[in-house]
Amino acid sequence: MEHESSILYGPVNAIAEQFGVHVPDHVVMALLVLALSSIIFPLAARNFSKDAPGGFQHFLEFIVGGLKGLLEEVVGHGASAKYLYIIGAFATFIFISNIFGLFFFLQPPTGNPNTTFALSITAFLYFNVQGLRKHGLIHYLKSFCGPLWWLAPLMFPIEMIGNFARVLSLGMRLFGNIFGEHTATGIFMGMLPFVVPWPMMGLGIFGATLQAFVFIMMTMVYIGGAVAEEH
């Protein structure tokens, strides 16, 4: 099957080739997500008001409040103040990237494993760094040794393998679901272009939201495990 590309892939690379550079399509789309986020949210924030909040402000406050509540419940008291920004960044980037799959002239960056594994590696490094900062190197490594010292030679490699496997779990789950949804949508819309689009778009929005939620929820769980007091 011929690889589809976004409407911006050709123009961007026409410019990039002048400098001897090739920009993959998923990178073009990821940069578009960052550009849109950097423009839309600051512009919207200019119209925010405490006295007369608009509909978009209410929606964002609902989302932020939900993320704060999840962090407090999953990670622990005070977690929303510490981890809201990284979780919010993951949620925003992944959701907008997933939504790109609904438009025939765009491609979802999360439909490429390079993007999803970049996200999963970032999450992996972040929650391990938080664990190291909270407990120190020695105590953090001890948490992988199990409750009994004489089981440490067996438990430590098993726990470390499980820890590194989280990169694969986060990256492959997101890539597989978005790639599959985008491929299936394209096939059905090609077969029944006048019947399928609206139901598939509704399903696509639900899938985009669900996959973003699963990624941030798993990241919260991993952060919670890394900074747990029993370490």
Task: Answer whether residue 87 is part of any domain.
Answer: yes
Give the orientation angle of helix 79-99 with respect to helix 55-74, to 10 degrees: 120
216 or 2, greater pLDDT: 216
Spatial contact of 215 and 90, defined as CB atoms under 8 Å apart? yes
Spatial contact of 77 and 65, defined as CB atoms under 8 Å apart? no
Q: Mean pLDDT throughout 20-32?
A: 96
Total number of domains constituting the chain:
1
Task: Answer whether residue 3 is part of any domain.
Answer: no
Residue 71 has pLDDT above 90, yes or no: yes
Q: How far is CA 34 from the centre of its chain?
A: 13
Task: Answer whether residue 4 is part of any domain.
Answer: no
124-136 residue pLDDT tens: 999 999 999 999 9
Other CB atoms within 10 A of residue 91 CB: 21
Give the orientation angle of helix 25-45 with respect to helix 79-99, to 10 degrees: 120
Q: Give the domain extent around 26.
A: 9-227
Average pLDDT across the chain, whole number:
89
Task: Answer whether residue 1 is part of any domain.
Answer: no
Residue 3 has pLDDT above 60, yes or no: no
pLDDT band at 167 (very low <50, low <70, confident <90, very high): very high
Task: Answer whether residue 42 is part of any domain.
Answer: yes
Spatial contact of 29 and 94, defined as CB atoms under 8 Å apart? no
Alpha carbons 83 and 60: distance in angstroms, whole number: 17
3-state secondary structure of 54: coil
Alpha carbons 206 and 209: distance in angstroms, whole number: 5
Q: How many Cα atoms within 13 Å fall on the side-chain side of residue 183? A: 12
Does this model's pTM top 0.85? My answer is: yes
- Provide the 8-state DSSP code for 2: P
Q: Rounding to the nearest 10 degrees, give the CA dihedral for residues 11, 17, 23, 25.
A: 30
pLDDT band at 43 (very low <50, low <70, confident <90, very high): confident
Task: Answer whether residue 122 is part of any domain.
Answer: yes
Residue 69 has pLDDT above 50, yes or no: yes
Other CB atoms within 10 A of residue 104 CB: 13
Residue 68 has pLDDT above 90, yes or no: yes
Tokens of 210: 């669900």
Q: Show the CA angle centred on residue 193, arms to residues 188 and 199, nearest 5°.
A: 65
Task: Answer whether residue 29 is part of any domain.
Answer: yes
Task: Answer whether residue 199 is part of any domain.
Answer: yes
